[in-house]
Amino acid sequence: MVKGRPGTLHPTFAALVALGLALLVLTVTPVNAQDADGDAPSPAPEFTPFDGNPVIQRSAGGGWGCEQGTIFAPKIVKHADRFYMFFSGSCQRSGKPAAIGFATSDDGLDWTLHADNPILEPDGEGYDAMCVSIGVPILDGEQWVMYYAGNSTPCAGPGQHIGRAVADDPAGPWVRDPQPLLSAGGPGDWDEGFIMPHAVIHTETGYVMYYSGGAEYLLPLPRLIGMATSPDGVTWTKVDDPATTEPPYAASDPILDVAPDGSQSLLSVWGLDVHLTDRGWEMIFSTTCPESTTPGCPTYIGYGMSDDGLHWRTFRSRDAAILTRQHVDQPWASYCVCQPTFVKAEDEYWLYFTGCTAEANDCEIGGARGTIGWE
């Protein structure tokens, strides 16, 4: 692959500028910057898990998200001093058929489940006939918009398509677009096996989506992160570097992870959330711990930042971890901490994440609060 030089605009990002998605000149430390001794500054997170975790638990009985099922993949929105958490769930521990529900909170700690969950579920027809999951909500003006992973077959994963639904209220009714917005790549492409959304950011001049894809969701293969742009939130184009003309990157390209020495690699994580804040582009992601030698369930939540949204610096040392499984140290999340989502209020981060035990898909949702300093 031929990529843009560190410290310069990637050719694809230059195309984004032409579309009017150029960003502010940021006053944060550049992702490639080093101090006089050649050592890049590192984040110093200080986060405390909530004592009342998990904040969203499976409910008793036989309904959706019940004690025999699973809940996972939270996404948080704060609007008018109220927290809205959207999450995926199923009445079966297998995770299928998956649907999306939500809960609300006035303080981010005590949550009330919507009485008529799920609010968005498969109806047996179309590209999302069997599974609707991994919801990514945004409030676009007065309208709620949900991007989600759709699967037309019985699913144990996200499927081949990203869909969109809109509503005037989180409780619905939600109206789905008849066709998917984005689909997995063709044979031989890096995202041929699955595709699912993680974050959508509405800038002053357009929309940016971060999504993950790979060859096979259920195997421990790389899950790379792609980026797509849209002028209206409906018509999307995957980022594609014209310099990469051979499979698996001929049709589109994953975004980049830039090391302090300027070397670049493809960004691979298991889940993430991204916001454009006063620090620039900020990412909180989940992956396996740095010392892990074999792929496995994520046990580490880390931090990344970017000047342009395309070239990222991720911090993966244990000292720079936001949370680890050991840090959470709560039985409900004894095996896995993953799928983070966050909102930022001034310098404080409200973080929510999926936690699981070693039993298959025995997952619930917890939270933590903290700050990210630099040293």
List domains and CATH numbers for the chain. Answer: 32-374 (2.115.10.20)
Give residue-wise pLDDT tens across range 83-126: 999 999 988 766 568 899 999 999 999 999 999 999 999 999 99
- Residue 20: pLDDT band with limits 50, 70, 90: very low
User: Which of residues 68 and 207 earns the better pLDDT score?
Assistant: 207
Give me the pLDDT at residue 154, please.
75
Per the DSSP assignment, residues forming a β-bridge with 100 are: 88, 120
The mean per-residue pLDDT over the stretch 248-264 comes to: 94
Give residue-wise pLDDT tens across range 198-228: 999 998 889 999 999 999 887 767 789 999 9
Highest mean pLDDT among 174-178, 266-270, 289-293, 295-299: 174-178
Is residue 14 over pLDDT 60?
Answer: no
Look up residue 93 and give its amino acid. Answer: R
Give me the pLDDT at residue 157, please.
74
Closest CA to 204 of 18, 24, 80: 24
Q: Say what the pTM is.
A: 0.89
Decide: helix, strand or coil at residue 46. Answer: strand
Instruction: Find the radius of gyration of the CA atoms of the chain.
Output: 19
**CA–centroid distance for 56 within its chain:** 18
Q: Using CB atoms within 10 A of its CB, is residue 28 exposed (0-12), middle (13-18) or buried (19+)?
A: middle
The mean per-residue pLDDT over the stretch 278-307 comes to: 84
What tokens appear for 48 in the block? Answer: 């405390």
What tokens appear for 302 in the block? Answer: 């880390």
Q: Are 182 and 228 in contact (CB under 8 A)?
A: yes
Is residue 71 over pLDDT 50?
Answer: yes
Q: Are 97 and 123 in contact (CB under 8 A)?
A: no
Give the whole-angstrom CA distance, residue 278 versus residue 271: 23
Give me the pLDDT at residue 8, please.
37
Give me the pLDDT at residue 11, please.
42
The mean per-residue pLDDT over the stretch 290-301 comes to: 71
Is residue 32 over pLDDT 80?
Answer: no
Per the DSSP assignment, residues forming a β-bridge with 323 are: 301
Tokens 């079966």 belong to: 92
Q: Are 236 and 180 in contact (CB under 8 A)?
A: no
- Residue 162: pLDDT band with limits 50, 70, 90: very high
What secondary structure letter does DSSP report for 66?
Answer: B
Q: Are 159 and 131 in contact (CB under 8 A)?
A: yes
